[in-house]
Amino acid sequence: MAIRSIDEIAIEGKRVFVRVDFNVPLKGSTIQDDTRIRAALPTLKAVLAGGGSAVIASHLGRPKGGPDPAYTLAPVAARLGELLGSPVPLAPGVIGPEVDALAKKLKPRSALLLENVRFHPGEEKNDPSLARQLASLADVYVNDAFGTCHRAHASTAGMAAHFGPGAKAAGYLLLAEIQAFRRILGNPERPFVAILGGAKVSDKIDVIRNLLGTVDRLLVGGAMAYTFLAARGVPVGDSLIEADKFELAQQITAAAKKRGVELLLPADHVVAKDMVSGADRKTTEAQAVPDGLKGLDIGPKTREIFARALGDARTVFWNGPMGVFETPAFAEGTFSVARAVAGCSGFTVVGGGDSVSAIQMSGVADRIGHISTGGGASLELLEGKVLPGVAALED
């Protein structure tokens, strides 16, 4: 797609609408993690340093199509002002006369944060009227919210149609995401190894199918691995499975073999009766899980097998934990994969909240080529889909 970078459009003296992803975790009115705010700073600073003014928009949480004090962006506005070194006022709403007046009064190198765009019922419906009114607030449109680009909402897709060539662009964060996924999906250096974990095969069917045409090795862990094992007749005890997906797992296994893709499943497991830290843990000798026990992490043999499979990788994508890693007793498998990915000499991409958390908790984030900010958006790209928010930027 012919998508312009923010560096390729004129900004000086113009109002720039910047769609960001400030969907940060809150406890009351306290921000628990400001990573997403910090991630947008390069783009916002470029707008302000370039002599433009910024009309900033984001969603937060899932309000039900109307104002909800629990999801106000007020704490975000305060934190953003601290990070930018200048106060950022919060508009009283998403659109309307007061918002229009505030936007028009903006001086160069100043910013305004709109209230939560999901407070307007037309946002998630991609309402044309809302899109038009949002577009009227600015001269230029910049999308830097990769995490919401798979949603055809008014602020991520609809309003972009009101800006002509040369007046819409991708911010630095979004551009980095696009370039990273083009690199792994277009013509990846080989061997290309993908690691998929998480609870359900059904959540990643299309990802697996699409990746089978690209990867050289596919490593499967987490609860979804037990559906594959059970479909092969391996006893899995009380492990979480999707019995209605056995045939699908068999089809995927056959397709991998036909395409020459090495499909690796856990060779051993850390098991317990209950999913709690104080549970009596055991490590199985082989793939079978004893009756009455649940597979909750990959075992030491599997960790070594997966590490070897990653040893010569030139391209790596990882999404999904190898077990119940949020419980310390079952975290080592996921952390071992994090270290193995970080040790790769090729280009590495990690996406999905749990995988990103594992990378950060393992202290290896600075050794990852690209950490994706959008779990759902990255998976849809891997499924071969076109993201509405990205397509809307095409000239």
- Let me know if 351 is a catalytic residue: no
Rounded Cα–Cα distance for residues 19 and 57 (Å): 5
Could you give all domains of the chain from N- to C-terminal order, each with its CATH number?
6-176 (3.40.50.1260), 187-382 (3.40.50.1260)
Question: Please, what are the averages of pLDDT over each run of 10 residues along the chain (395 residues)?
Answer: 91 98 93 92 98 98 92 98 97 97 97 98 97 98 96 97 95 95 92 93 89 96 95 96 95 96 98 87 96 97 98 96 92 96 96 86 94 87 92 92
pLDDT of residue 1: 56
Contact indicator for 311, 346 with CB cutoff of 8 Å:
no
Q: Is 354 helix (H, G, I), strand (E, B) or coil?
A: helix
DSSP class per residue in 64-124? -SS--GGG-SHHHHHHHHHHHTS--PBPSSSSSHHHHHHHHHPPTT-EEE---GGGSTTTT
- The DSSP letter of residue 151 is S
- CA-based nearest residue to 6, from 37, 52, 58, 59: 52
pLDDT of residue 276: 81
Rounded Cα–Cα distance for residues 356 and 365 (Å): 8
One of 93, 346, 376, 384 is an active-site residue; which one? 376
- The DSSP letter of residue 212 is T
For 200-227, write each residue's pLDDT tens digit: 888 888 899 999 999 999 999 999 999 9
Rounded Cα–Cα distance for residues 95 and 135 (Å): 10
Q: Model's pTM, two decimal places? A: 0.90
C-alpha distances in Å from residue 184, one per residue of 51, 98, 100, 191, 349: 36, 45, 42, 11, 8
One of 15, 36, 204, 303 is an active-site residue; which one? 36
- CA-based nearest residue to 235, from 271, 201, 263: 271
For 309-340, write each residue's pLDDT tens digit: 999 999 999 999 999 998 999 999 999 999 99
Chain centroid to CA 366: 18
SS3 sequence, 123-139? CCCCCHHHHHHHHCCCC
Pairing status of strand 269-272 against strand 294-298: antiparallel
One of 14, 45, 125, 200 is an active-site residue; which one? 200
- Let me know if 36 is a catalytic residue: yes
> Quick one: which H or E segment has residue 286?
none
One of 61, 343, 353, 384 is an active-site residue; which one? 353
Q: What is the dihedral of CA 167, 181, 184, 377, to 10 degrees?
A: -150
Contact indicator for 44, 166 with CB cutoff of 8 Å:
no
N residues, the chain: 395
- Let me know if 15 is a catalytic residue: no
